[in-house]
Amino acid sequence: MRRQACARLEHNLAAIAESLGLRAPSLYKHVDGMPGIRRGVMIHAKSRLAQALGHAAIGRSRDDAVKRMALAYRDWARAHPGQYSLTMRAAQADDDEDLEASTAIADVIYNVLSGYDLHGDDAVHATRFLRSALHGFIALETTGGFELAVDVDQSYSLLTDSVVTALASWSAT
């Protein structure tokens, strides 16, 4: 079994090297095997997601910013399903690049939530709530969990409406 896994890893690295115009041994000069490639893709994905969220929220505030960010989040996740799954993992404390990329996502969300006067622990709790709601919907949608003949876009819109209502009342408590 281990021999098969090693063979698949070498095949994958060979294919990646070939696509870059390199030989597999040369690829090891640039990355630490498949774990290094996964890490690089993860950091890239987190950075791109942060950019998409930031772009969606720019010039907007409160409900409008959350709704636009939620749409961008869903669009990005559906367009990049393999990368999206890599954005879910919390940053490794000893990896500065991972911390930077993860922090960029959190900063966009914290900036949007500041429009609801949510800061500190409240912002952390609200971020967890927001991410859980959006991710749960996207996870169900992308794995075939919504097969009923009812408009899924309308369901997502209702979800985001509920999220902004919750955030507005959250800041009032």
CA 55 to each of CA 50, 76, 105, 150: distance values in angstroms, whole numbers, following the listed order: 8, 12, 12, 30
Does the pLDDT of residue 8 top 60, yes or no?
no
Rounded CA-CA distance 136/70 in Å is 12
Does the pLDDT of residue 9 top 50, yes or no?
no
pLDDT in tens, 68-89: 999 999 999 999 998 999 999 8
Residues 23-36, mean pLDDT to the nearest whole number? 68
Of 63, 61, 67, nearest in space to 170 by CA = 63
The predicted model scores a pTM of 0.82
**Residue-level pLDDT at 1:** 41
Which amino acid type is present at position 134?
L
pLDDT category at 119 given cuts 50, 70, 90 is very high
Instruction: Map out the domains of the chain as residue ranges.
Output: 1-30, 37-172
37-172: CATH number: 1.10.357.10
User: DSSP string of 87-130?
Assistant: TSSPPPTT-HHHHHHHHHHHHHHHHHHGGGT--HHHHHHHHHHH
